[in-house]
Chains A and B, each alone.
Chain A
Amino acid sequence: MLLSRVAADLYWLARYAERAENTARILDVASRLSSLPTNYGGTTNEWESAMISTGAETLFRERYDEANRRNVIDFLAFSPDNPSSIFSCLDVARRSARSVRTAITGEMWTAINDAWLELRHYSVDAMSPRQLAEFLAFVKEACLRFDGSAYRTMLRTDAHAFFRLGTFVERGDATARILDVKYHVLLPEGDTVGGGLDYFQWASLLRATSALTSYQWVFRDALRPWRVAELLTLRKELPRSIANCAENTLWYLDQLANDYGRQGPAQRAARAYHAGLANGTVDAIYREGLHEFLQRVIRENNALSVAIEAQYLR
């Protein structure tokens, strides 16, 4: 048994730490693409699409005139007004960690607290491409260290289950969003890689999800759009795929149901969501439309989070 507030803090602590890392990955990709040679003929604004992929376009438009490099970095990395900026994520994560200090381990606390302290040394005004790369490496490493500390030091009780639910719900959402922003690149069905720009965009998509090397391992093939989509949605070998996140979410919910001796709406929602992905095929996604499929996944994943909150966290 846990206080609902403590379980909620653990859940959101994990979600925000995961989100900080995902935002860093999205910025990393934007930065790589913006440094492409101009003769590749790119007309899309990578900074703009990075901003859109975080799902906070409305908020951005209210505050900035133009989606240029500086504004997007400011918005996604440092803005306290953006609840999903790296700054906000680490700030909320640290505050949640502080209020449930006794429910997490010393290593986890130190990892998040160190990251928060270090973050204050960076600012949008000192962000040359090189400094940005250093900054993003710092964020990704800090999140890895936090995640690793949890993996290695946390007792496997209900507290751990709530923490991991946060990780996987957030990760599934992020993968769906990153993929959705690029769906127009993957459609219509092109069989082979076209120009250099296309190649870089697909590669960037895989990089954003740490899956470029994994793609080669899984398919031993050149980059093909529908295989990229398959890898990120249905292949459960990939730790960031939507199917893998759904499987883990279900697993931890079943742990809780076992501990507490009761299945509930959250378990049922997770089972349906997981089954849909486990039985899914690329053909079916193609028929449904990738965009429509991803929008549905984001909705279902969010409904699952709402069910978890209703059943346990209030």
Chain B
Amino acid sequence: MNGEDGVLRDAYRSVKPWLDTNSLDQLKQRSREAEMLFRRVGITFAVYGDNSAEERIIPFDIVPRVLTAAEWKSMSAGLEQRVRALNLFLADIYGAGEILRAGIVPEALVYQNTYFRPEMVGIKVPHGIYTPVCGIDIVRVDADTFYVLEDNLRTPSGVSYMLENREVTMRLLPDLTSEHAIQPVEQYPNELLATLQSIAPATASREPTVVILTPGSFNSAFYEHSFLADRLGVELVEGRDLFVRDNRVYMRTTEGPKQVDVIYRRLDDDFLDPLAFRPDSVLGVPGLIAACRSGTVTVANAMGTGVADDKAVYTYVPDIIRFYLGEEPILNNVPTWRCREPEALAYVLDNLPDLVVKMVSGSGGYGMLVGPAATKEQIEDFRAKLKSEPDEFIAQPTLALSTCPTFTESGIAPRHVDLRPFVLYGSRGIRTVPGGLTRVALKEGSLVVNSSQGGGTKDTWVLDR
């Protein structure tokens, strides 16, 4: 809330007095009301590996996180630049491969990548847009510096929390929200639908049929899938609701087969088409890839986008931006050592207690080492792993992550946060809804914000001026 100089930052000018006038008991009361609202609506998620808790809610912190209009302007410009470049990268590696021939990104990193899909080579993605929906994770390290922590170009989730958090905040804290000029996020579902319709294949009618494809009601993010289907007013389908005939995709309805033009899928590549990928998958649609190849359907995001949000390719994104756009990146990466490079590996091995080491293919905060918080055994364990499979790891400095005032049992206290804004890229342009999902590490001192490991969420405000 305060800058490094100890002075109240602009963004929080009117949050501070509100926090001061509300007693701890009043805040507790509102916090309880918020939890009740979430439970009643059934905003729940499932945690893998925890059978006892089939349905939980993600803790919601009532104190909003605030960004100024100026901060947002530069951040969103950086996000949009990044997403454009990553799309050009995807089109290139599944096409001519110029960036590889130019030696900017090592070939092995792309072609030997688990997420690279040879099936996608030569497929013309409608409008050349591979990633209509992206969630880019951002951290702040000081007043002027935002770093990109991770690009999520496959099936980023969390946008339902962005919307629900705002609704709950407006209902519970009208005294606070009415004091601020907050840019709205409520239009996200409309903009998502418009984006998806804008990338329909040429064969579609003027009002393309869009569906959301979910793995089913046992998926941890099922709530979000049904929430979005409701808000967009489109069908929420499972793989078995769709079939392919003559290279066209249809859904089975009570009025017979209905052709589908755009599939916003929340299902991983591996499960999409049992004919092309995992033959044992019962979640997907046999023949979907063939339909994509013949250009009768758009799958959003396209298959094979994971190769561009891989942690190893991540380190090259600034070069990717320079290569395709001829611009300097507006948003920077966290300084990163690629353990595949011997010099970097040597440095990392020498400085393990100060670094965060991540697996290239890991996600959700699993399979990582947080040096300063680790025991000697954990560090030695990682040292051995690094030596045997250096290609699998990257390392980053432990960042002085920004904190945000957060409600705790003993009062308002600083907790570390990150931010996931959502970027929509359609044929009529690219746009970032002002806000995003702020995740907060609720444990004191913790840097891990993942909901599966004790993280919570906050409403995120972008001020109008």
Contacts and interface: CB of A to CB of B under 8 A. Distances in A.
B5 interface: no
B217 interface: yes
B252 A102 contact: no
A1 B217 contact: no
Contact of A2 (B216, B217, B240, B253): B253
Nearest to B236: A102
B392 to A, nearest CB: 38
B217 A5 contact: no
B42 to A, nearest CB: 8
A210 interface: no
A262 B251 CA distance: 19
B116 to A, nearest CB: 33
A158 B255 CA distance: 11
B131 interface: no
A265 to B, nearest CB: 14
Contacts of A314: 252
A4 interface: yes
Interface in B236-262: 236-238, 240-241, 251-255, 258
Nearest to B257: A4
B130 to A, nearest CB: 28
Interface string A82-102: 000000000000000011011
A162 B236 CA distance: 18
B253 A3 contact: yes
A102 B226 contact: yes
B235 interface: yes
A251 interface: no
Contacts of B258: 1
Contacts of A98: 217
Interface in A7-61: 7
A99 B230 CA distance: 14
Contacts of B255: 1, 260, 262
A246 to B, nearest CB: 22
Interface string B148-163: 0000000000000000
B229 interface: yes
Nearest to A109: B42
Given A101-B226, A102-B229, A102-B230, A4 B236 contact: no
Contacts of B229: 102
A313 B240 CA distance: 12
A200 interface: no
Contacts of A312: 254
B226 A158 contact: no
Nearest to A256: B254
Nearest to B216: A99
B254 A158 contact: yes
Contacts of A262: 255
Contacts of B230: 102
A1 B254 contact: yes
Interface residues of A, number: 18
A158 B240 CA distance: 21
Interface in A297-314: 312-314
Interface string B346-371: 00000000000000000000000000
B231 to A, nearest CB: 11
Contact of A3 (B42, B216, B237): B237
Contacts of A1: 253-255, 258
Nearest to A4: B252
Contacts of A5: 237-238, 240-241, 252
A177 B216 CA distance: 36
A17 B42 CA distance: 23
A97 B42 CA distance: 14
A154 to B, nearest CB: 16
A145 B230 CA distance: 26
Contacts of B252: 3-5, 314
B262 to A, nearest CB: 16
Contacts of B226: 101-102
B241 A3 contact: yes
A98 B219 CA distance: 12
Contacts of A102: 226, 229-230, 236
A260 B236 contact: no
A4 B254 CA distance: 5
Interface in B17-47: 42
Nearest to B240: A5
A3 B235 contact: yes
Nearest to A159: B254
B92 to A, nearest CB: 38
Nearest to B252: A4
A7 B254 CA distance: 7
A7 B255 CA distance: 11
A264 to B, nearest CB: 10
A313 B253 CA distance: 8
A73 to B, nearest CB: 29
B217 A4 contact: no
A314 to B, nearest CB: 7
B243 to A, nearest CB: 11
B163 to A, nearest CB: 16
A308 to B, nearest CB: 10
A173 B115 CA distance: 53
A4 B257 CA distance: 10
Contacts of A256: 254
B96 to A, nearest CB: 41
Interface string A60-92: 000000000000000000000000000000000
B124 to A, nearest CB: 30
Contacts of B251: 3
Given A99-B217, A102-B236, 10 more contacts: A1-B253, A1-B254, A3-B252, A3-B254, A4-B253, A5-B240, A101-B42, A101-B226, A312-B254, A313-B254
20 contacts: A1-B254, A1-B255, A2-B253, A3-B235, A3-B253, A4-B241, A4-B252, A4-B253, A4-B254, A5-B252, A99-B216, A101-B42, A102-B229, A158-B254, A162-B254, A256-B254, A260-B255, A262-B255, A312-B254, A313-B254
Closest CB pairs A-B (n = 5): A4-B252, A312-B254, A99-B217, A2-B254, A7-B254
Interface of B: 42, 216-217, 226, 229-230, 235-238, 240-241, 251-255, 258
Interface of A: 1-5, 7, 98-99, 101-102, 158, 162, 256, 260, 262, 312-314
